[in-house]
Amino acid sequence: MKKLVSCFWLVLSLLTIQVSGVTLSGLVTDEKNEPLPFVSVYIPGTTNGTTSNIEGKYFLELNPGSYTVACKMMGYGQVTKQITISANTKEQCNFQLRSESFNLKEVVVNSDAEDPAYAIIRKAQKKRAYYRDQIERYSCDAYVKSTQRLTKSPKSFFGQKVDLGDMVDSATKMFYLSESVSHLFFNQPDNYREEMISSKVSGSPQTYSFNQAQDVLLNLYDNLVYLGNLTPRGVISPISANALFSYKYRFEGSFMENGALVNKISVIPKRLTDPVFTGTIYICDDSWRIHSADLFITRAQQMEFVDTFRVKRNFHCRYR
């Protein structure tokens, strides 16, 4: 029997969630009023924040007072709102994000000139170790959800009717679900401690699964990004010390966010069989820190179990 798998939803919220008696909630949508999942909703200048769930809903615990609340997702313009929270009430604030792509400008590069993306990447490489080691310690709440879903199966096999029975949920076609909520603690250089608050597992994973926050700590500021058993040898970061030997880069344009210029750069493997990413990385001008990234690897990079693994990361920057 042929099984085509799967769907994985992974959320790692590296923002400390402050517990109090006031809940700020709302819905995050796009221009078409479609819910946007995994959007960061946070208080700028603090580590207090959360992410929207698969339905676009978010819940953020706050103390009474006045706040600037920011809503951010890669590919969309950031939206901020002023909110006043009263004691012992439930406040609501919805966000609608609009695509940022219309602000991107094309750049013409002469055939004998170096693409401007390379100068940006070199500056990001020089700052890589600084940003990797900048935070001495942190703690956060983490939510991880991993699912495996059957997308297609034959009705018969060698003349025999295929009966999936109880292995697959008839409504969702899901045959594996794992959810966990935990407290994660980190101290430099690589000391992690995780306290599991709750964990729910149903079914049996047929490929692989992420069950705790430490499984999905993917740091693009490291030279090699490890994806567990998927890529035991690691994947070369687009800004690693030796990245120019493995990648080509193309400058796609830039846009302004909070008064800072953000550069969009396409990441292109020089050799498809190397352990490298394909996709897009956004780098802030002047600070040369990563703004966000949308990267993927495939079986061409000798990845185990699955055909494609995609990494989407948003970094929360303090602009000067």
pLDDT number for residue 139: 86
The fraction of the chain above a pLDDT of 70, given in percent, is 80
Residue 19 located in a structural domain = yes
Question: Residue 11 pLDDT > 80, yes or no?
Answer: no
User: What average pLDDT does the chain have?
Assistant: 81
Buried b (16+ CB within 10 A) or exposed e, 137-169: eeebbbbbbbbbbbeeeeeeeeeeeeeeeeebb
Structure confidence by residue, pLDDT tens digits, 67-98 = 999 998 887 888 999 998 887 777 889 999 98
Residue 124 located in a structural domain = no
For 60, the domain range is 10-100
Residue 163 located in a structural domain = no
* Amino acid occupying residue 103: N
Domain count, the chain: 1
pLDDT number for residue 112: 67
Residue 203 located in a structural domain = no
SS3 258: coil
Numbers of helices and strands, H then E, in the chain: 1, 21
pLDDT number for residue 171: 63
Structure confidence by residue, pLDDT tens digits, 270-289 = 998 899 999 999 999 999 99
Question: Residue 160 pLDDT > 80, yes or no?
Answer: no
Structure confidence by residue, pLDDT tens digits, 182-231 = 898 999 888 989 998 888 887 766 666 677 787 778 889 999 998 777 77
Residue 170 located in a structural domain = no
Residue 59 located in a structural domain = yes
Residue 265 located in a structural domain = no
Residue 178 located in a structural domain = no
C-alpha closest to that of 140 among 15, 41, 12, 316: 15
The model's pTM is 0.75
pLDDT band at 13; cut points 50, 70, 90: very low
In CATH, what number is assigned to the domain containing residue 19? 2.60.40.1120
pLDDT number for residue 259: 80
End-to-end CA distance of the chain: 57
